Amino acid sequence: MGTVKIDVHHLTRVEGHGNIVVDVRNGEIKTCRFEVVEAPRFFEAFVRGRSYDELSHITSRICGICSVGHATTSLQATEKALGVELSEQATLLRKLNFHGEIIDSHVLHTYYLVAPDFLGVPSVIPLVDTHKDVVLRALRIKKLSGDLCALIGGRHTHPIALTVGGLTHTPTERELRDMRARFVEARADMDETVALFASLPWPQFERETEYVSLHKDDEYAFIGGTIVTSDGFSYPIEDYRKVTNEWCVPFSTAKWTRHNRDAYMVGALARFNNNYDQLHPRAKEAAAKFGMKPLVTNPFLNTAAQVIEMVHCIEDGIRIMDELLTRGIKPEAPAPVEVKAGEGVGSCDVPRGILFHNYVYDDDGICTSANCIIPTNQNWANVNADLQAFLPQILDRPQEEIRHLLEMLVRAYDPCISCSTHFLRVEFV
Amino acid sequence: MSAKSKKRDRPRVAFFDFASCEGCQLTVVDSLQTHVELLEAVEIVQFREASSERREDYQIAFVEGSITRPKDEERLRRIREQATLLVALGACAHTGCVNALKNLHKPEDVRRWVYGDCAEWYETYAARPLSAVVKVDAVIPGCPIDREEFVEVVKALLVGKKPPIPDYPVCVECKLKGNVCVFHVGKTCLGPVTRAGCGAICPSHGDGCEGCRGLIPHPNENAMEEVLDEFGLTLDQIMGQFTMFNAYSEVENGEWAQ
């Protein structure tokens, strides 16, 4: 293959704006990279001056897909800063809401954004005519997860009821029972989902990298825990800067990160690799259908790991609802807050990977400093390393196929570009 | 007219976004859960977030996001030229939403805080709603938009009617729901001056209204002050909260040039 020029301006079926630029002359790769061109929004700068009880409602607006993840992480940071402890019921409800968002985000990515690549269509819309059962199933799972988020947070996008110290609204026992019944019914849809995605011809490409996620010994970690990496490192959440080591690159409004190698990966595949033991047995069965066991080093299988996590969240969601129902759910005021100066770091493993929020508050509970490090931003260096490793392996294919495969590779990371362009300042005071 | 030619004559619709979380477009996608018939009524020719299809012959443009840099203006003007109807989708497009909180700060401070020494590499100016740059034909307010309201607006636009956006305050919907006023449980609420249409969703879930749908056309500030008086609050305190979603209407471009 002599010369290839690809310029995918504003990659589609991803959240936010990015370009893939490839320039190959006489078989030599001159340029091969992903550029983030999203407009920066400067959240860390403008939350300064706002009150502690506004922060989670402002920062959930970073992302429309993972607003529950941002709100939960934000609240965790604020609650640590102010020394607020959550009740057991509030902890369970937040976990359940979080599971709802993991399912919601993953069904969006797997069915709406990735499946069209394999079925040769530009979007999910033409599938309404050709694969109606698949589309209806996707809509059913999406509705289930959205309804769960709404049941707890008031609505899915930008939750209302999540507040410092707990929740301002509690679902009734009846509502929880109905939701539990729908989760049990959803098992059939999960079986079909696993069967569908396990049958897809995933592109063959292996490149081992460092996988970074949260970890807990007693559960598959989504909210809190410790930071672990597949290279054997472990850090308390407060030491997140030792992992992220951000730097700027001129062609990207998103900062890059690196740890033990030049790049690392976060997200469903990283969690799967680091926390396989904590997956629900049914999720492990799903993994077996994909032939997956750690260490999985094909980044395309990040989408498969998302399917496996959906199974986990359905099963664990049923378990959490059982626990809530056994304990007896009742309206409960948020824990009291004593406003004081302090600093806190929150971390959750949101749909696209590990997320950090770090705030400093003054004596009046006014934010004086803020830092948010978003998962997609942590993946950029790895996406580029993958693009550069993958391109030479497919250079003999027609240009159109190369373009399509590179797009699929970026899409596999489920990038959330509008999220990824407002990270932190270079130095944190 | 055959079914096929009917399908061909459907209005051509496109979705675009600028600085935003894209949650309003996701809400549009979610509206299909309950209104899959929308796909029969319109032809979507461009929707980057959901489809690789990209055609420029659209008639109705739904635009999410705020304008935050000069080059965004060119793109928005091109969309305006092509579209017969341009609809601002959600608070970022309608009011500037939280993006305009940066207008309350000094430009250099904002850029350096986030990008440090690399600040010069990235272009940005004061965040603004679409209407600060082009003529907007209709608005779907809210952060995020309300799914049902979106469907109602689309239906109205398709038959050439004015979109049914209420111009009364959230309090009206809240009272109809039989909610206990959140002022009575010690919270603050912008419901008395904020445009309804959300079904008072925040007060219905135990939280005060934060004003994401913008002010009603002629807010009764006296009545608001009376309510605040009763609970020992001042208009200034409340207006401080109002800036969360409405900083642009308060300071416009602030200390930012242009």
How many angstroms away from the CA of B38 is the closest CA of chain A? Answer: 11
Question: Within this chain, do residues B86 and B142 fall inside the same structural domain, yes or no?
Answer: yes
Domain boundary among B100, B126, B158: B158
| Over residues A273-294, mean pLDDT | 98
Give the separation between CA B66 and CA B95, rounded to whole angstroms.
Answer: 8
In the prediction, which pLDDT does A419 show? 59
How many angstroms away from the CA of A151 is the closest CA of chain B? Answer: 10
Of the candidates A64, A163, A422, which has its C-beta nearest B22's C-beta?
A: A64
Q: Please state which of the ranges A265-269, A351-355, B2-6, B39-43 shows the lowest mean pLDDT.
A: B2-6
Residue A168 in domain:
yes
Neighbour-count burial of A235, counting CB atoms closer than 10 A to its CB (0-12 exposed, 13-18 middle, 19+ buried): middle
Contact B207 A58 (CB under 8 A): no
Where residue B8 falls among pLDDT bands split at 50, 70, 90?
A: low
User: Does the pLDDT at position B38 exceed 60?
Assistant: yes
Residue B257 in domain:
no
Contact with chain A for residue B104, Cβ under 8 A: yes
Secondary structure (3-state) at B138: strand
B31 chain-A contacts, CB cut-off 8 A? none
Contact A108 B29 (CB under 8 A): yes
User: Does the pLDDT at position A423 exceed 90?
Assistant: no
Question: Within this chain, do residues B138 and B225 fall inside the same structural domain, yes or no?
Answer: no
Neighbour-count burial of A111, counting CB atoms closer than 10 A to its CB (0-12 exposed, 13-18 middle, 19+ buried): buried
B39 chain-A contacts, CB cut-off 8 A? 125, 128
Give the separation between CA B25 and CA B48, rounded to whole angstroms.
Answer: 10
Q: Please state which of the ranges A306-320, B179-193, B203-217 shows the lowest mean pLDDT.
A: B179-193
Number of domains, chain A = 1
CB burial of A286-302 (b: ≥16 within 10 Å; e: otherwise) equals: bbebbebeeebbbbbbb
Q: Residue B59: CB partners within 8 Å, gap ≥ 6?
A: B11, B12, B13, B83, B84, B85
Question: Within this chain, do residues B102 and B178 fall inside the same structural domain, yes or no?
Answer: no
Question: Within this chain, do residues B153 and B182 fall inside the same structural domain, yes or no?
Answer: no
Of the candidates A10, A128, A425, which has its C-beta nearest B48's C-beta?
A: A10
Strand A18-25 versus strand A210-215 pairing type: unpaired
In the Cβ-directed half-sphere of A403, how many Cα atoms lie within 13 Å? 15
Residue B239 in domain:
yes
Contact with chain A for residue B35, Cβ under 8 A: no
In the prediction, which pLDDT does B14 show? 96
Question: Within this chain, do residues B18 and B102 fall inside the same structural domain, yes or no?
Answer: yes
Tokens of A351: 């749909």
Highest mean pLDDT among A84-93, B68-77, B184-193: A84-93
Question: Within this chain, do residues B218 and B246 fall inside the same structural domain, yes or no?
Answer: yes
Question: Within this chain, do residues B153 and B174 fall inside the same structural domain, yes or no?
Answer: no
User: Does the pLDDT at position A175 exceed 80?
Assistant: yes
Contact B21 A418 (CB under 8 A): yes
Sign of the dihedral defined by the CA atoms of residues A88, A94, A97, A98, in that order: negative
Question: Within this chain, do residues B7 and B89 fall inside the same structural domain, yes or no?
Answer: yes
In the prediction, which pLDDT does A248 show? 77
Tokens of B62: 């739904």
In the prediction, which pLDDT does B232 show? 85
pLDDT tens-digit readout, A32-82: 888 877 777 889 899 999 999 999 999 999 999 999 999 999 999 999 999
Tell me which long-range contacts A385-391 makes (C-beta under 8 A, separation of at least 24).
A385/A207, A385/A209, A385/A262, A385/A263, A386/A205, A386/A207, A386/A299, A387/A20, A387/A32, A387/A33, A387/A34, A388/A29, A388/A32, A388/A33, A389/A205, A389/A207, A390/A205, A390/A207, A391/A22, A391/A24, A391/A29, A391/A32
Distance, C-alpha A83 to centroid of its chain:
27
Domain boundary among B105, B125, B158: B158
Report the mean per-residue pLDDT for chain A.
92
Report the mean per-residue pLDDT for chain B.
90
Phi, psi (5° rounding) for residue B16? -135, 160
Residue A402 in domain:
no
Q: What's the CATH code of the domain at B31?
A: 3.40.50.700
Question: Within this chain, do residues B101 and B188 fall inside the same structural domain, yes or no?
Answer: no
How many angstroms away from the CA of A218 is the closest CA of chain B? Answer: 32
Distance, C-alpha A308 to centroid of its chain:
14
Question: Within this chain, do residues B213 and B145 fall inside the same structural domain, yes or no?
Answer: no
Residue B187 in domain:
yes
Question: Within this chain, do residues B66 and B149 fall inside the same structural domain, yes or no?
Answer: yes
Strand A18-25 versus strand A4-8 pairing type: antiparallel
Q: Give Cα separations from A50 to A44, A47, A344 (angstroms).
A: 11, 6, 16
Q: Residue A194: CB partners within 8 Å, gap ≥ 6?
A: A286, A289, A290, A307, A308, A311
| Over residues A177-197, mean pLDDT | 98
Residue A37 in domain:
no
Q: What's the CATH code of the domain at A246?
A: 1.10.645.10
Residue A36 in domain:
no
Contact A168 B205 (CB under 8 A): yes
Contact A64 B26 (CB under 8 A): yes
Give the separation between CA A315 and CA A107, rounded to whole angstroms.
Answer: 16
In the prediction, which pLDDT does A181 show? 98
Where residue A420 falls among pLDDT bands split at 50, 70, 90?
A: low
Fill in the DSSP letter of residue B126. Answer: -
Domain that includes residue B235, residue range? 170-251
Residue A179 in domain:
yes
In the prediction, which pLDDT does B225 show? 83
A169 chain-B contacts, CB cut-off 8 A? 205-207
Nearest CA in chain A to B201: A154
Highest mean pLDDT among A22-26, A365-369, B28-32: A365-369
Which amino acid, residue B219?
Answer: P
In the prediction, which pLDDT does A197 show? 97
Secondary structure (3-state) at B62: strand
| Over residues B92-112, mean pLDDT | 93
pTM (whole model) above 0.80: yes
Contact with chain A for residue B230, Cβ under 8 A: no
Strand B85-89 versus strand A166-167 pairing type: unpaired
Residue A316 in domain:
yes
Highest mean pLDDT among A252-256, A290-294, B187-191: A290-294
A153 chain-B contacts, CB cut-off 8 A? 205
How many angstroms away from the CA of B127 is the closest CA of chain A? Answer: 9
Give the separation between CA B68 and CA B99, rounded to whole angstroms.
Answer: 8
Number of domains, chain B = 2
Question: Within this chain, do residues B29 and B131 fall inside the same structural domain, yes or no?
Answer: yes
In the prediction, which pLDDT does A418 show? 58
Contact B124 A12 (CB under 8 A): no
CB pairs under 8 A between A and B: 181
Residue B244 in domain:
yes
Are the beta carbons of A9 and B64 closer than 8 angstroms?
Answer: no
Domain that includes residue A288, residue range? 43-381
> For chain B, what percent of residues have pLDDT higher than 70?
95
Q: Give Cα separations from B142 to A38, A349, B224 (angstroms).
A: 22, 28, 21
In the prediction, which pLDDT does B6 show? 53
Closest C-alpha among B211, B195, B213, B202 to residue B179: B202
Of the candidates A48, A108, A253, which has its C-beta nearest B122's C-beta?
A: A253
State the Cα torsion A70-A104-A349-A319 to the nearest 10°. 120
Domain boundary among B100, B130, B158: B158
Are the beta carbons of A221 and A316 closer than 8 angstroms?
Answer: no
Residue A27 in domain:
no
Neighbour-count burial of B194, counting CB atoms closer than 10 A to its CB (0-12 exposed, 13-18 middle, 19+ buried): buried
Q: Please state which of the ranges B50-54, B152-156, B246-250 shows the lowest mean pLDDT.
A: B50-54
Where residue B2 falls among pLDDT bands split at 50, 70, 90?
A: very low
B102 chain-A contacts, CB cut-off 8 A? 41-42, 45-46
Residue A113 in domain:
yes
Count of CB atoms situated within 10 Å of the CB of A409: 22
User: Does the pLDDT at position B240 exceed 90?
Assistant: no
Of the candidates A40, A139, A160, which has its C-beta nearest B205's C-beta?
A: A160
Residue B191 in domain:
yes
Where residue B236 falls among pLDDT bands split at 50, 70, 90?
A: confident
Query: Radius of gyration of chain B from Cα atoms?
Result: 20
A50 chain-B contacts, CB cut-off 8 A? 101, 244
Residue B163 in domain:
no
